[in-house]
Structure 1
């Protein structure tokens, strides 16, 4: 992102470079060996562990924690990677506070769960740090599978297929593989280029080729892929952004939060990134929080998240909301944007208070204005570029439990498909399970 002369309030260098570097340090510093063993000793090692059920990838959490407790973190990592090959990134970005850790028996007994996420990171970082790949590839089957989209779902699908001996080609529109992990996660959650390091490590299984700058409609067609490959998996993600329905939404200074985050993630020097003095983020999900917090960390003086319903309805977890407020972000709930004011350039945003009537959101007619030289849209993403012959349901590709689409020979998973929540860990599970289904179909003869 570069400074636009049409938006003079959005400038780089609001904070010294060393302050910005400190602001974007690791959100959850890794545990050392002693800390990990102390944390592991808190686990009850439940036989019927609710944490496993709460994990979308069904990792055997008591087993890997016991392996850490017995000082075998490499074995713990293999237990994790057997279910979740992107366990390293998931340890950093999973909302564990609403998944495995919320279900932890310690949480119910003491109000403080076992630190499952940090223990998972300790194990996976240990094995990956030794440049060891935990799995061997099966004998080649001679079958070829195309994976469209190099995000978490596509990578998980490709790895599982390659492990079973199939040859896989991954296509992605962006110049790098990684998808959401590379372009859509807050920088303080995944510092030191971890997303790319994880991709390189994952490809160590062999049998996977990555071709960037290619997508359906951009040099590829589904018909051609099905002619050239034995099966196709679609991990397209969500590339469209919902429009901001407000007067003046086209003024300079109004942009998509996902573009801001992607630009930040790819920046060589965060001190050169421009940010507004007064930032308003429209939305209530993880993207809204990531954009708001990072705006503050870059030096924005005031940052407000404006969400149409109550805080309890926000897509961002309570932990993420608390993180935002701890960084000086204001959470303003029960408001919708009415207009962006300014002479061609955003200067203020006008918001209308809302209320619910029989479950329906309505405006009250009461408004307020906030200074805003930068407004980010974080109001949901949409599915673009769906190939013909693929049935859509509620704005996403309809799939069955195995990830099969309505088009024979084509599977799908991740954010583009119907299923669970739009989380990295859910996408991994869907990509992995689709790979098992594809493998069964290819070896049924």
Structure 2
């Protein structure tokens, strides 16, 4: 079904908020203060970590029920199981193509830049005690375990443990069940919509603490990993951030252009979310807001409900750039020879292991260790070299993941003829439009 033919939402005038009352301004101010505290008072900065962690936990507790209500309601209102399957297949095809491009770009850039060349690291002098906890988790990242983990042990367990894919799996099944129930399902469908609206109101309340969370997270990062890490591995950080920018504007930018919108306007539209994930290094902190924003931007609710949560596991473009860059960097730093055949093999392994990055603490770092263990070429112990700057690299990969999923949602909605392009244009141009979600006609 198409959203075309619906009554166009009318622009509404809202009182302009003072510049200092806007969330993105408050988050930037909090980040600046956090940087200053972390730099001049590093011990105090490291003690601010609970502020960032508390904010992340507060958002995570809402993710599972929000995904459930959004997906169940979207599928039930769509009443078309074939379309659900079609959207899922298109999304997975898109995700696989984009993550492959990200891996190739990461490999090309790190080979050209060579940030690890000349380091000549002797691994016998590297302390690996700090990475033992991460290495213990590598056995959990194989493909079979990842696929089996999509099915929860119990219905309630998926919500208790907060695994996005498990909740999505249950949500799709429940949505199908409501479709088969027909008119009898209407009270349940209406209830899920009401509960969803309540949960988004709760998200709005929690987001008041976003500046405090950003302050705590950035103060901790600068206080613990600040100037020393930047100087010792600065070349790697610069090369990685440049690679992320090339991907966003050189790969996602053309996709956005062909879909009829500007990548720059999209970034402006989600600037608050980008600042929050940059500070907290967690994309989950803005998942609920992204569901709202992508729907408000003209994407059909059912498409948003499927693409965004799935993308959080399968469309990790920034994570793929990180994995490719870090793996080859470690080979360069330890003088490990990698010819073309080795790097193609590494690419194939990364295509599998990168999909297992969801639901694991320190996911990207764990997957990197698992990848090196699977390849058998680059010493696994070498990951200790980048543990100190992993969080700093995460400040590049998480915004890239977020932009990638935003572009994917719009692209797949357009591909599925489920995009109100006029609404998208006006929202990205900064107009205030009716915030009611776009539903199937």
> Is the shorter-chain TM-score for this pair beyond 0.5, marking a shared fold?
no
Higher strand share: 1
Indicate the structure whose relative CO is greater, using CA pairs within 8 Å and at least 6 residues apart: 2
* Structure with greater helix share of residues: 2
When the two structures are superposed, what TM-score results if normalisation uses the length of structure 1?
0.27
